[in-house]
Amino acid sequence: MTYERTIGDTILAVDQISLSFGGVKALSDISFSVREHEVFAIIGPNGAGKSSMLNCINGFYHPQEGTITFKGKTRRQVRPSEAARDGIARTFQNIALFSGMSTLDNIMTGRNTKMNKGLFWQAIRVGPAEKEEMAHRAVVEKVIDFLEIEAIRKTAVGTLPYGLQKRVELGRALAAEPDLLLLDEPMAGMNLEEKQDMCRFILDVNDEFGTTIVLIEHDMGVVMDISDRVVVLDYGKKLAEGTPDEVRTNQDVIDAYLGVSHGEDE
């Protein structure tokens, strides 16, 4: 594995984001930036606002204050579907697969935004629509191949074990060929082996496709190993930002977070 990545310019800049539900402040005044080809981790205790942060980035929540700049486009309110079309894909903390569909169909939905044959051609199918479908099927098969899930291609995802579902979900996100991949606790509830597999996939995606990755993860070992930079949130506020080593030695972080949970992790 070659490990020569060129970290590029800022692809995503989060600027003074504040988000509240009713009177509850979920995020206050958060700023950070993510550079191209980077693996960027957001960590923090439960309820720190990590998932809310991701939800803001891809437009599911609309922050009351602050702006988000993605690929040079600054926006405050964006519809999730438009964010996805701009090149932001994500996976979810609680698996959000389309349980009634097969693995193949689930991953194919990831390609939906790239397909454009209309209803009429779809109804006839023979001809342009079929050609388009086959071309995208070929791309999806590459993703399936990459994630080593060939055997479950035609299985309904509802019946798959947890670890595989997570993998299919990653596949669906990858099929969209995103510029920015948001992973919400990709390794939660996995055993060691599955975690290692997932780490490998994440690094490979980053490496081979050059995809920028923002991830939330509770497993400190994983975070410190695979991420280039880390931001720490606590109670909706930013505690620290920097390389894993910098964050590890930051006194605030140790007090708020690592100091408490370190004993459990090791």
Nearest distance in Å: CB 122, another protein = 4
CB atoms within 10 A of CB 15: 16
Name the strand (E) or helix (H) holding 82: helix 80-86
Residue 120 CB, shortest distance to another protein, in Å, is 10
CB atoms inside a 10 Å sphere around CB 24? 8
Pick the closer one to another protein by CB: 134 or 192.
Answer: 134
**Shortest distance, CB of residue 170 to another protein, whole angstroms?**
12
* CB-nearer residue toward another protein: 160 or 256: 160
Q: 86 or 219, CB closer to another protein? A: 86
Name the site residues for another protein (rule: CB under 8 A): 21, 51, 55, 58, 60, 79-81, 83-85, 89-90, 92-94, 96-101, 105, 108-110, 112-113, 115, 117, 119, 122-125, 129-130, 132-134, 137-138, 141, 172-173, 176, 184
Find the shortest distance in angstroms from Cβ 117 to another protein: 7
Q: Which residue has the tokens 């958060």?
A: 30
CA distances from 222 to 126, 140, 185 (A): 48, 28, 11
Output the smallest distance, CB 21 to another protein, in A: 6
Q: Cα torsion at 169, 265, 227, 258 (round to 10°)?
A: 120
DSSP notation for 104-163:
HHHHHHTTGGG----HHHHHH-TTHHHHHHHHHHHHHHHHHHHTT-GGGTTSBGGGS-HH
Question: Using CA atoms, how far apart are residues 74 and 261, in angstroms rounded to an integer?
Answer: 37
CB of 113 to another protein, least distance (A): 4
Identity of the residue, 89 or 230, whose beta carbon is nearer to another protein in the bound complex? 89
Q: Report the residue number, 112 or 261, with the smaller CB distance to another protein.
A: 112
* Shorter beta-carbon distance to another protein: residue 60 or 235: 60
N-terminal to C-terminal alpha carbon distance within the chain? 28
| Structural Rg of the chain based on CA atoms | 19
